[in-house]
Amino acid sequence: MSKSTAWLINNQKIPVKLKESTIDLEKNLETWIASDPSLVQGGLVVVGRQLILDSGRLDLLAIDPQGRWVVIEIKAGVLDKEVITQALYYVSQIATMKFQDLEIKVDAYLKTRGSVLNRVLEERGVSPENQAEERETLALIVGTGRTPGLNKMLDFLTEKYEVPLTAVVFDMFELPDGHTVITREVTESDFSKMSLAEKVPQWTIQDCLSRAKKYGIGDEIRTLLNIAEKYNLHTRPYANSIMFSPQNNKTRMLFTVWLKPNKKGEIRAYIGSDVFAAFYPVSENVAVEILGNPGWRFLSKADVFTIVQSLEKLFQTIERTIE
């Protein structure tokens, strides 16, 4: 089992080993993630908690910026093969459940928070009517450690069976002043093979360009596609958006743009500026400094070209680091 150790460098530049916190991290993780899902992945909105399914009770269910469903299974302890098996059971059920049944379960949670599933999907440019055929589901397992060989299992499932799995491990430490800090380690298997959805694509980049041109933003979308091609980003077409991701993990979003602007003519985008550090030799601070804070944005046409210039600057920075 892997375990983290942390040190604080004090005013005398001397490392001071931190004690593991006595706060029950495992007990609090679900509540903290439900409150702030960016603890595990940016851009998520939680749409269900302690969801009763045929194979058990799912800890958290979320939707990402592309409208993909994210099963979040939290283990009270170290991550092992059992939690992977459980997460896969939940993924299969969420992916195949009748949309009306899933909507009822999710709305029971969302209505207590002033929302409904259809609104969440529409905000992400996803048509609720198509969810029966186009529901894409990912798995995210969370714990406070991992058993030996877990990463090998994740790689095997991802490469052999094309199951996108992410593992997140947390630790908590006490500072000398009594405050606590949380550390997080994320393991994402390389997703170098095409996903099943990409083998028989329902939408093409040309479809997306045609739709963008219809709404008067064809030039802006083409400019983003050009910068993606220049720096070898993977482009994933959806009915209403294009997701840009690294080539070695096609399920992980760097940024997404939607094809239909709002009434002001602004283009909706989600920029995962902090994600670049996970796949390229650049620090998160530098990526955020160049691209801005991660999150949702509404871009004017001029803003799109500013983003392109920022991407150019970021990749030039990365290339200098490699050299």
Q: Within 10 A of 174 (CB to CB), how many other CB atoms are there?
A: 16
Instruction: For residue 80, give both structure tokens.
Output: 């092992």
Instruction: For residue 146, give both structure tokens.
Output: 């991992």
**pLDDT value of residue 194:** 42
Give the helix/strand (H/E) hosting 305. Answer: helix 301-322
How many Å apart are CA 192 and CA 152, to the nearest integer? 15
β-partners of residue 143 are 169
The pLDDT of residue 187 is above 90: no
Tens-digit pLDDT profile for residues 74-97: 998 888 888 998 999 999 999 999
pTM: 0.85
How many Å apart are CA 157 and CA 114, to the nearest integer? 38
What are the structural domains of the chain?
Answer: 7-188 (3.40.1350.10), 196-316 (3.90.1150)
Tens-digit pLDDT profile for residues 259-275: 999 999 999 999 999 99
